[in-house]
Amino acid sequence: MARKRSQPAPPKKETLHASLAGVLDRQVPKRWVKFVVGIVLLFPCAALTAAFFDAFLESARGGEFSRVEEFTWFGWASLFALIWFFGFKPLVILYVLGHELTHALLVWLHGGRVADFRAAWGGGQITTDKANTWIVLAPYFVPFYTLVWLAAYGLAMLLPGVPDSPPLLYAGIGFTWTLHLAFTIQMVLKGQPDLEYGGVFFSSALIYLANLVLISVILALVSPGVTGGGFLRTLLDECIRLAHLIASGAAALAGFLAQRG
């Protein structure tokens, strides 16, 4: 009788909301490592925040925004999105759907499989055989509907007879991205289970940094006074200034401890 060949065990499927913080023998827990990484992320967070506000205030001081039609459309659409978000009941189901679709998209990009997909008014989840930091946290810094709008606009431009309309493009970006940011802040403050994957501190730092990078890119696109090269130079200056500040603080603390010892 032929022997029955053993079959490999199917990959374990688990929801993204499951705890994946298991620790193997003689290994440092991942959350400890990610906590240290979160502390390191504070440096680029602080430097990029300072560079962004330097560039923004410089553009606002020169009145450049008011002379750019695209920024006017972007600004009014963003304001309308905020009024709709706070004054009315937005379609939460659309956010949940986009949130879970972003999870699923990142799973597929990482070669994983989605076994179950659920999106409802009360929330959603997916069941997958793969999970990592980018898969779990992507919905908090990837503006799903902004990408949908850009894709739809790009496809429309391929049709014959459809005129290019930058104001409409930027209005759509402003509306969809502002709603993404408002929902992200709301969900983070509520304490989403996704944030527990790598620790709330690490996840919050990464989400903040990723969204700030996106905001900086938008600023460079809509402001004529902000160029990519100029912004990077400002960012480098802020990094140097912050490094000097940290070095001075460390030297002062070392001197104080030496005196106390």
Per-residue pLDDT tens over the stretch 75-131: 899 999 999 888 876 678 888 899 999 999 999 998 888 888 888 777 788 888 888
The residue length of the chain stands at 261
Give percent of the chain with pLDDT exceeding 70.
84
- State the pLDDT at residue 261: 62
- The better pLDDT of the pair 123, 60 is held by 123
Among 51-60, 131-140, 245-254, which stretch is predicted with the lowest mean pLDDT? 51-60
- Tell me the average pLDDT across 38-48: 93
Q: Angle of helix 144-157 relative to helix 166-190, nearest 10 degrees?
A: 160
Q: What is the DSSP letter of 198?
A: S
d(CA 220, CA 74): 13
Q: Best-predicted range by mean pLDDT among 14-18, 120-124, 134-138, 250-254?
A: 134-138
Confidence of residue 15 (pLDDT cuts 50, 70, 90): low
- State the pLDDT at residue 101: 92
Which H or E element spans position 184?
A: helix 166-190
- State the pLDDT at residue 74: 86
- Tell me the average pLDDT across 140-163: 90
- State the pLDDT at residue 41: 93
Which of 87, 104, 90, 59 has its CA nearest to residue 187? 90
- State the pLDDT at residue 8: 40
d(CA 232, CA 236): 6
